[in-house]
Amino acid sequence: MERLELTILRNLVYNEDYSRKVIPFIQPEYFEQRSERVVFEEIVQFIIKYNSAITKEALGIEIENRTDLTETDVKDIREICASLNDSVAEKQWLLDTTEKWCRDRAIYLALMESIHIADGNDGNKNRDAIPGILSDALAVSFDNNIGHDYLQNYEERYEFYHRKEDKIEFDLEYFNKITKGGLPNKTLNIALAGTGVGKSLFMCHVASSALLQGRNVLYITLEMAEERIAERIDANLLNVPIQQLVDLPRSTFENKVTSLSKKTQGTLIIKEYPTASAHSGHFKALLNELALKKSFRPDIIFIDYLNICASSRHKPNGSANSYSYIKSIAEELRGLAVEFRVPIVSATQTTRSGYGNSDVELTDTSESFGLPATADLMFALISTEELEGLGQIMVKQLKNRYNDPTVFKRFVVGIDRAKMRLYDVEQSAQKDILDSGQQSEYNDEDQKPKKSFEGFKF
């Protein structure tokens, strides 16, 4: 059987498309045998110099002109050149196999270099360099994307505009409207509210909804115990007031959970961390551990909540001010969402002045205005005595990268705190909320909604 290295060298000579794709990623030291390394170097030098694929004859001449080769080297290289033929391997298989070979060789060489450094045999590097060396080796991949050519890549752009994006849908009509169908991957979405208004309730409800859609859900809590989060989700999904869960007979509880498991193919994992002790690095390790031990990869992640996470870049009591510290946490969480290709949903507190405000603004974000600068979607959850009496909670858009935030800027949803649920209200309830989005739905001047919440700013 032909060695993979010879297959690579042969296709570098006879497959120009392949050679242009892989040469930027193959290092000469990946080849164990000196003869193969010399052949690779000559092929690359010819392509760079003449911008054309090398022929077998030209390769032979270039090698014969080298003066740094021993007789054994020349003999081995001649055998390699003699074995080269124009049989081209299947394109995708060859690319995938070459990429794996490059990664395996990079990891092997990185391990050898790390051992060399650990033994104190490298005068230029110390042990602190080892994690970076291994990280670079693990990151080896064939990524040929060097940018979007605006004029040349218009077809890709057109397809992107018409591609149906995979989103996590809400079971709430107006949230789907403002997000154009749900939460996209690689995004950070933030609910802003005062203490006791419903941040955790909102996240538990959306987590429950995602589970019923057959999605894999990871709920990370730094505020409440795992059991307390599970209790809220039980109230939501089992349709039992939270105070009555303790009174359910074991058989009834078991039957309800069993019935629920038959309705979904999804999985919900709840993980608790001590307050202010965990950061994006811990979350990344958790995700890798879940993938390894349980073959679990989430479709959406909830983090309850952002302000009580730690930063992987700043110490809590270090020199960083609250603006930089909270902004760093937000950036790290959004980076985690991008890396694992999932939407992340979290929450933040209002300031003291915004706690009793009936019309929360972005400036009411607690501790750092850098948080809304990083979020893709940010909205306030507002509760007043009047709304509580109606069994409703108001949602106000503060920032929206998915849609025009002035459309349906304010709307209300029903809230059942006993069962930890949110639900759509009658359209007549929305008529009392005056904003540009709702106004556009009414053609008759007489049917335009009237102001009822005089305390709100418009």
What is the reported pLDDT for 162?
82
What is the reported pLDDT for 458?
40
- Using the Cα atoms of residue 22, residue 27, residue 31 and residue 37 in order, give the sign of their dihedral: positive
Residue 444 in this model has a pLDDT that exceeds 50: no
Q: What's the chain's average pLDDT?
A: 86
Annotated domain spans of the chain: 4-138, 167-447
CA dihedral (307, 309, 313, 315) in degrees, to 10, reads 90
Residue 185 in this model has a pLDDT that exceeds 90: yes
What value does the mean pLDDT take over residues 18-41?
Answer: 90
Q: What b-and-e string marks burial along 358-391, b requiring 16 or more CB atoms within 10 Å of the CB?
A: bbbeeebbbbbebbbebbbbbbbbbbbeebeeee
More confident residue, 252 or 458: 252
Residue-wise pLDDT for 81-118, tens only, equals: 888 888 878 888 998 899 999 999 999 999 999 999 99
What is the reported pLDDT for 52?
85
Phi then psi dihedrals of residue 416, to 5 deg: -115, 95
pLDDT band at 214 (very low <50, low <70, confident <90, very high): very high
What is the reported pLDDT for 449?
45
What is the reported pLDDT for 457?
46
> Would you say 8 and 31 are in contact if contact means Cβ atoms under 8 Å apart?
no
Please state which of the ranges 3-17, 261-275, 319-333 shows the lowest mean pLDDT.
319-333
Residue 211 in this model has a pLDDT that exceeds 70: yes
What value does the mean pLDDT take over residues 248-266?
Answer: 94
State the amino acid at position 271 in one-letter form: K
What value does the mean pLDDT take over residues 405-421?
Answer: 93
What is the reported pLDDT for 216?
97
More confident residue, 73 or 362: 73
State the amino acid at position 33 in one-letter form: Q
> Would you say 318 and 359 are in contact if contact means Cβ atoms under 8 Å apart?
no
More confident residue, 239 or 156: 239
What is the reported pLDDT for 144?
57
Q: What angle do CA 113, 114, 120 make, to 5 degrees?
A: 95
Residue 441 in this model has a pLDDT that exceeds 70: no
What is the reported pLDDT for 411?
94
Q: Which two tokens stand for residue 379?
A: 């909205």
Cβ neighbours of residue 52 under 8 Å, at least 6 residues apart? 46
Residue-wise pLDDT for 315-330, tens only, equals: 766 666 777 888 899 9
What is the reported pLDDT for 165?
79
What value does the mean pLDDT take over residues 8-25?
Answer: 88
More confident residue, 439 or 17: 17
What is the reported pLDDT for 326?
87
Q: Which residues is 268 bridged to in the sheet? A: 217
Residue-wise pLDDT for 367-399, tens only, equals: 556 788 899 999 999 998 898 999 999 999 999
Distance CA 80, CA 3 (A): 11
Q: What is the CATH number of domain 167-447?
A: 3.40.50.300
pLDDT over 90, % of the chain: 52
Cβ neighbours of residue 282 under 8 Å, at least 6 residues apart? 273
Please state which of the ranges 61-65, 253-257, 315-319 shows the lowest mean pLDDT.
315-319
Distance CA 304, CA 82 (A): 65
Residue-wise pLDDT for 156-180, tens only, equals: 888 888 877 789 999 999 999 999 9
What is the reported pLDDT for 237?
96
What value does the mean pLDDT take over residues 44-66?
Answer: 88
Distance CA 262, CA 246 (A): 23
Please state which of the ranges 43-47, 135-139, 255-259 shows the lowest mean pLDDT.
135-139
What is the reported pLDDT for 447?
44
What is the reported pLDDT for 435?
47
CA distances from 258 to 104, 157, 209, 251 (A): 45, 46, 17, 10
- Check whether domain 4-138 has CATH 1.10.860.10, yes or no: yes
What value does the mean pLDDT take over residues 133-159?
Answer: 80
Q: Which two tokens stand for residue 248?
A: 């359910």
pTM for the structure as a whole: 0.65
